[in-house]
Amino acid sequence: MEKKVKTAPYLPFPTFQSALDNIAANSVPNVIDRHSFPSFSGAAVSSTLVALKFFGLIDNEGKPEDALHDLAMDKDGRKQKIRVLLEKYYGNVVAVGLTRATPPQFDSAFAADLYNVSGDTKVKAKSFFIKAAQFAEIPMSKMLLTKSRTSGPRKAKKPKTSIPKGTTDETLPPASETSASGNQTSTTIKFGRGGSLTLTLDVNILELKGTDRVFVFDLIDKIESHQSPVPDVAR
């Protein structure tokens, strides 16, 4: 029987850190499930469990491994432990030579048959790795770091003014626009048949801590999911 490929983490790295803090707050429960992350959305819980399984921190039934206890409870040593996990589970990516890797080389290393990601999920998976590697102080080329800083939400195409016959509200994709000024960031979702929803953040998200950070990234996850639904992936 062919072994299933685990899906690489594709959640925001700060959300992963918050998940570890939640687990530590409960002294590592007997089972890691949605109850372990009371402030997370359903999508955030799902992607968190994917990440924990990828790193071998829980089994398929959610039973925590000893490595999860060490990672969650030892906050002072978390940086080094994250580095060990990245080097162990992203061997193909690390083998590229991150200090001199170009963006195309880095992209090719995230092969679907190794990490089970593609499309938008692959973009998010690469972002997770870069942010995690920065946290763990793994040296990387300036090209990768520059690409990470300049890669923002892709602007969706403007909705068509004419609606094909037989098209319903449910089939019209939402459009979005994002603008930023200083610490203020606004994201507007334009609905297909008129109307919009605007989320404005007036805060430096890098300074957010605890439940505030979880709440903000939860909202961001929901907006991204609404604009570009993440495909179902094997767990």
Share of residues in the chain with pLDDT > 70 (%): 69
Could you tell me the pLDDT band of residue 117, with boundaries at 50, 70 and 90? very high
Q: Tell me how many degrees the CA angle 183-177-131 measures, rounded to the nearest 5.
A: 55
pLDDT computed for residue 231 by the predictor: 43
Q: Is the predicted pLDDT of residue 129 greater than 50, yes or no?
A: yes
- Range with the lowest mean pLDDT among 8-12, 74-78, 150-154, 183-187? 150-154
Pair 94, 149: CB distance under 8 Å: no
- Please tell me the pTM assigned to this model: 0.64
Any idea where the domains of the chain sit in the sequence?
Answer: 13-150, 169-227
Residue with tokens 């008129």: 194
Q: Is the predicted pLDDT of residue 13 greater than 70, yes or no?
A: yes
Q: Which residue has the higher pLDDT, 157 or 102?
A: 102
How many other C-beta atoms can be found within 10 angstroms of the C-beta atom of residue 39?
Answer: 12
Q: How far apart are CA 115 and CA 204, in angstroms?
A: 32
Q: What is the DSSP letter of 28?
A: S
Most confident among 65-79, 133-147, 198-212 (mean pLDDT): 65-79
- pLDDT 10s digits, 198-228: 777 776 666 666 677 777 777 776 666 655 4
In the structure encoding, which two tokens stand for residue 152, read together?
Answer: 């923002």
Q: What is the layout of strands, in order, in the sheet containing 196-202? A: 175-181, 184-190, 196-202
Q: Name the residue among 82, 79, 110, 81 with its Cα closest to residue 94.
A: 110
Q: Is the predicted pLDDT of residue 23 greater than 90, yes or no?
A: yes
